Amino acid sequence: MSIFVNENTKVIYQGLTGSQGSYYGRLNAEYGTQVVAGTHPKKAGADVDGVPIYANVADAVGATGATASCIFVPAPGVKGAVMEAAEGGVEFIVAITEGVPAQDEAYFFNDLARNYPDVQLLGPNCPGIISPGKCNIGITAGHIAKAGGPVGIVSRSGTLTYQALYELKQKDIGVTTCVGIGGDPVPGTSFIDCLEAFEADPETLAVMMIGEIGGSAEEEAAEFIRDHMSKPVASYIAGVTAPPGKKMGHAGAIVSGGKGTAAAKMEALEAAGVLVGNNPTEAGELMAGIVASL
């Protein structure tokens, strides 16, 4: 199985008429994803590579039965796009855009929690989600992912999401679903959301978790793994050499007051029984050992 999306997921692309939206929309469709519609308030009735454009998400959902949306609009428009998707009946929203203001992220995160509790938001500032051989929503290159399970991947870092997929493919290990949750301070989907879904998925037998410095998400995930996970987990935490107090790339990757360091996260994960690699390749080797023992 897969989590969140599968071969039956129908996807609307908000921003399909733009350069990035049309490029990745086409790649996702070529992968096999059901890209059924795009939206633009002034281009309803047009199409992009044969995909019809509707004025808004509600119209697109009504015409196609889509349950997912992928957002490729500029950062200032993401708050409106997320809320339009939720109000239009979408159940799973993937926001790829980076640079979304933190106050906007906090706004739609809390609005969804209050008024649309059944809507799952992934991102913003994330590579998206891929269930290899079934569905690819976002910017992950499909050819680096091997289908067939038994490993689920969840990662904060976009680049390390790709490397985790490729490390496993090199070892002939398939993946059920790979979720890039993004590194912003207010992610729509957390490590715990994904770990819980992987724990419930009968075809995911082990999990690879890629974290990075900043915040407490990895420590919270370690606690969840210790208390609720029966499946083995391998991990890698990026940023071992990052100097304290410095922002390192991602908006959420900042170490302050001795908290959020890679060492502290690694220690918490190891205490929870997670096998922690010192680099992505070592984490892949640890996962290969886990798979061999299943």
Which domains, ranges and CATH numbers included, belong to the chain? 10-122 (3.40.50.720), 141-293 (3.40.50.261)
Encode pLDDT of 23-36 as tens digits.
999 999 999 999 99
Q: Please report which confidence band the pLDDT of residue 149 belongs to, taking 50, 70 and 90 as the band edges.
A: confident
Encode pLDDT of 235-284 as tens digits.
999 987 666 655 555 545 555 555 578 889 999 999 999 999 999 999 99
**Which pair of tokens denotes residue 29?**
């469709």
250 catalytic? Reply is: yes
Question: Which residue in 40, 143, 228, 250 is the catalytic one?
Answer: 250
Encode pLDDT of 161-211 as tens digits.
999 999 999 999 999 999 999 989 899 999 999 999 999 999 999 999 999
